[in-house]
Chain A
């Protein structure tokens, strides 16, 4: 128990931890002390002087954001002198701040506006000429308007301390001081937009959002980002069924305010002109749009015929579809179509992972664990590129708690700057590298190990054995690629009990039906069965879709509801942000196919509503008996699917090797992700990434 002190703020007696910052104590007790430069989680600046308050027995006003509370302190935060000081400081700030409110994106959510409303100085006595410099564009994402900048240094700090990118600096002196990008006139960075969101005014604005709307015209929908497996909540701002922006400033979700470029800006694929709008039937060499009833009829007839003739099916599911969809699909395949040939693009060896850790408790790390664990070991993964939230959690852990970070990777990674030890290894040498850190790791009180796809099968078991041998509590994260890669495995989109793997299906020359949902296997492999009937559900005309006989237009994650499971095994709920014309959610498409195939099939597969399917998941999938209220209210519920051995599966496990700016098919159709490709993120500190 920390020592507490008793103090008085505005006449109210308050008890607080000794040495806590006055501004935090006040806020915790419902007393607002305004501040621009003070920001929780970032280093203290004491630069804006807005938080000056009166403390009895001290001659000058005191800085609330840096003053530790002490026994007997008597504080006044609303006395006349404090109010007049705030007004004076705001008046100073407004002398050079341009009257851009009518055209500034920040209007309506601007902290300066809010402060002026509350503390005055709306009418200025300044009659001189303002300092002016022109607006600059630093990247496709980031615009900077220097006159609006109040020099609170939040952007510099979030980029340096928060993200570890160090792309922003402060130049010049005095009233012409300004924020500058790392390449003279432009930024080469993660383009994550953290600086834009953290800016209290409209100095940093987003190139995608500018001049489009006012914040109060949008509906804000919190859902889970559809790109990597970290499971960040992104709050999409929607107006008239169009997603206009994404951010997470309400800090809902496991990611707090953190988002990378994909989470913040990677939503524009939803309105790409090449988005499939109606079912398509192969006619000759091309496709013809047909009605849903026609397309469903064709597919249902074919499925029924092949089933009756005892033909072979192959089902390749998606790393992006919801748990409900993945579960329903494998159920459909196994029970309605009678096939075990079910797979998806497996990017991490979850099979061996779940098997090796079977029946253990407390061995799966959550995203929060990465922020609180005393030590973290990263093996064979460039976290900042592929799992930016996880990287951010670890970075914040080091910064706030002094956690120890170790990296065993084939190239330089951002963790090197903070790591206790970084070891470079060749592919295959990861375990040897880890072994070399044994002494240091064993001295840690606890450890979380994250590992990439280079650790699989035998090496994965060896890694767990290593963890066991350290004699300290160890938790693991088996890194996978996409927003529901983990869920796809947990729901059973895998060739259990002798089914064919993805590669085997594609190589099987007598495959009768190939049903591909939200995947693009034919991008890099060809289909051996020349006569196979191919059904594809997707958003775009991918390479696989081109080979299809029937294509169903599918909805994206931002257009449907359901749940997804992140890389740490945490289940979160999606919330549809926009309605989409023409396309349907994959779950609905499954249901419609079932309905078309007849009441017996419908009875087998069940009702295709996400809620009903989730109920079934909770009852039947190992470790998924999670709390419904937690998920329904936007929380993240950890799953524990570690009961029972899992037999090895055929087929390969390999990460797609995405970076900050790529995300499989989706990123190909995202204008913004492609516009920043001039400085593509590269794995392992490659020349494109900010270092």
Chain B
């Protein structure tokens, strides 16, 4: 396993989760133990489950997978005293376009994630966990198998973890190529050996998840944030960010920037600063046109809307989302028609097909956009794109329909000029 990082770190980062990245053999247990490893677990073992959950609540940590749901609150939904076995499922499906951070956490600091999982297990009274890794990340599946084997052999998984008597088993489970399996209930169906079709909520996974048992499901980065929260206290983590948006997160900056990469930035970090100082600005001095703030499911922001701090609440206030942390930068040369088309091609390909609006809507929108891109666009199509997207929004079985509709609506609204330019038939 190369320890060489995929991109140079930035001096502007606040490296909390990624602080061990770049250390020789950072992925091994010894390096982890030598760098505050498992201190949090031992501390958590002396805490009550309610205290653990309160600490997580105090950290203002919010789900790092995309939905941004307050993690402490999610943990409190699992009925600890249920007679059924309680499972922990780690969402390592990472398929949101623009997102490439969970990879790094597993590659360079897997034990941090494992420690987070174990702390959650203490709080849930759970003794079995499944790490759902997307099929394309096979090298990471093999890597995690090795890490898990090392953990077992050294007493950090299995029975009597770190001498505390606590028992927990962790298994890595492979996906096989499906974006929808990143949706928590679809992931559970996939884990159960079925097609990844989302489930009705309620019941929520906390109550009836994997095999109808109480299940805690969180993203890799969310679990990875737990050790530092327990070790240094929830408020300390919260203070790194902004009120109600605690801590730091790994932001994946890509697209038209000089220094694309994954950078750990505190919640509330200014977006323009991230683009121009952390990621080195736009090549060739070109002008900024748009930004995808947190993965392709988010409404896009025009250049003039980007002078904002990056946290969940601010992004929500400006009509977008912080999402998965996948920030894609678009310069003035970007053809928004092609961009919208590519996004819709993705969602049409990944739609699970369960419900009418998403299944038919994404394909229809794709076909309109394809026709537009091929030069057959009509004047009415622009309004039609917006209207059909709105017919999907809020009407689908799961959020994929919203994820397809929202960026499309934003592109049609904010970049209508790009469409006008491509019109051939003026109706």
Contact = CB atoms under 8 A, between A and B. Distances in A.
Whether A and B touch directly in their complex, counting CB atoms under 8 A apart, is answered as yes
A177 B391 contact: no
Given A88-B395, A95-B364, A175 B353 contact: yes
A126 B178 CA distance: 28
B318 interface: no
A170 B178 CA distance: 16
B357 A88 contact: yes
Contacts of B418: none
Interface string A105-131: 000000000000000000001101101
Contacts of B362: 174-175
Contacts of A93: 356, 360
Interface stretch (A47-55, A219-227, A366-374, A443-451): A47-55
A44 interface: yes
A57 interface: no
A151 interface: yes
Interface in A47-89: 47-50, 52, 59-61, 66, 85, 88-89
A46 B202 CA distance: 12
B356 A150 contact: yes
Nearest to A60: B394
A297 B213 CA distance: 79
Main SS at interface, chain B: helix
Contact of A46 (B200, B350, B391): B200
Given A173-B352, A175-B348, A96 B360 contact: yes
29 contacts: A44-B200, A49-B355, A49-B356, A49-B395, A60-B395, A61-B395, A85-B391, A85-B395, A88-B391, A89-B356, A89-B357, A89-B391, A89-B395, A91-B391, A92-B361, A92-B391, A93-B360, A125-B384, A128-B371, A129-B367, A150-B356, A151-B354, A151-B356, A173-B195, A174-B359, A174-B362, A175-B348, A175-B360, A177-B353
Given A46-B200, A49-B395, A175 B356 contact: no
Contacts of B147: none
A92 B367 contact: no
Contacts of A172: 353
- Residue of A60, A88, A170 contacting most chain B CB atoms (<10 Å): A88
- Residue of A50, A66, A128, A176 contacting most chain B CB atoms (<10 Å): A128
Contacts of B178: 173
Interface string B334-362: 00000000000000111111111101111
B363 interface: yes
B397 interface: yes
Given A61-B394, A85-B391, A95-B363, A48 B352 contact: no
Interface in A154-197: 170, 172-177
B143 to A, nearest CB: 28
Contacts of B354: 47, 151, 177
Interface in A123-142: 125-126, 128-129, 131
A48 B353 contact: no
B397 A151 contact: no
Interface string B367-379: 1100100000000
Given A49-B397, A89-B395, A174 B363 contact: yes
B314 interface: no
B396 interface: yes
A128 B364 contact: yes
A66 B203 CA distance: 11
A129 B364 CA distance: 9
Contacts of A129: 367
A47 B394 contact: no
Nearest to B353: A177
A174 B355 contact: no
A91 B396 CA distance: 15
Given A46-B200, A61-B395, A170-B195, A128 B352 contact: no
A49 B200 CA distance: 13
Contact of A174 (B349, B357, B371, B391): B349
A91 B392 CA distance: 11
B394 A92 contact: no
Nearest to B177: A173
Interface string B177-219: 0101000000000000001000010000000000000000000
A151 B384 contact: no
Nearest to B200: A46
Interface in A291-339: none
Please give me the 9 A-B residue pairs with the lowest Cβ-Cβ distance, nearest first. Answer: A177-B353, A88-B391, A128-B367, A92-B360, A174-B351, A175-B363, A60-B394, A174-B353, A47-B355
Contacts of A66: 200
Contacts of A50: 356
Given A92-B360, A151-B354, 6 more contacts: A47-B397, A89-B356, A128-B368, A173-B178, A175-B351, A177-B353
Contacts of A174: 348-353, 359, 362-363
Nearest to B364: A95
A173 B388 CA distance: 21
A119 to B, nearest CB: 13
Contacts of B388: 88, 92
A173 B356 CA distance: 13
B191 to A, nearest CB: 17
A172 B196 CA distance: 11
Interface in B237-277: none
Interface string B57-80: 000000000000000000000000
A174 B380 CA distance: 26
Interface in B372-426: 380, 384, 388, 391, 394-397
A66 B350 CA distance: 26
Contacts of A176: 353
Interface string A35-48: 00000000010111
A505 B386 CA distance: 84
Given A46-B397, A61-B394, A92 B356 contact: yes
A175 B359 contact: yes
Contact of A48 (B350, B356, B368, B394): B356
B320 to A, nearest CB: 17
A126 B355 contact: no
A175 to B, nearest CB: 4
Nearest to A46: B200
Nearest to B380: A125
B361 A151 contact: no
A89 B391 CA distance: 7
B97 to A, nearest CB: 17
B346 to A, nearest CB: 11
Contacts of B361: 92
A49 B395 CA distance: 7
Contacts of A177: 352-354, 359
Interface in B96-136: none
B368 to A, nearest CB: 7
Contacts of A89: 356-357, 391, 395
A92 B393 CA distance: 13
A126 B384 CA distance: 10
Interface in B151-174: none
Contacts of B356: 47-50, 89, 92-93, 150-151
Contacts of B394: 59-61
A236 B412 CA distance: 55
A174 B178 CA distance: 11
A88 B358 CA distance: 12
A173 to B, nearest CB: 5
Nearest to A169: B195
A126 B361 CA distance: 11
Contact of A173 (B351, B360, B371): B351
A92 B360 CA distance: 5
A172 to B, nearest CB: 7
- Residue of A50, A85, A96, A174 contacting most chain B CB atoms (<10 Å): A174
A220 to B, nearest CB: 31
Contacts of A92: 356-357, 359-361, 364, 388, 391
B412 to A, nearest CB: 15
Contacts of A91: 391
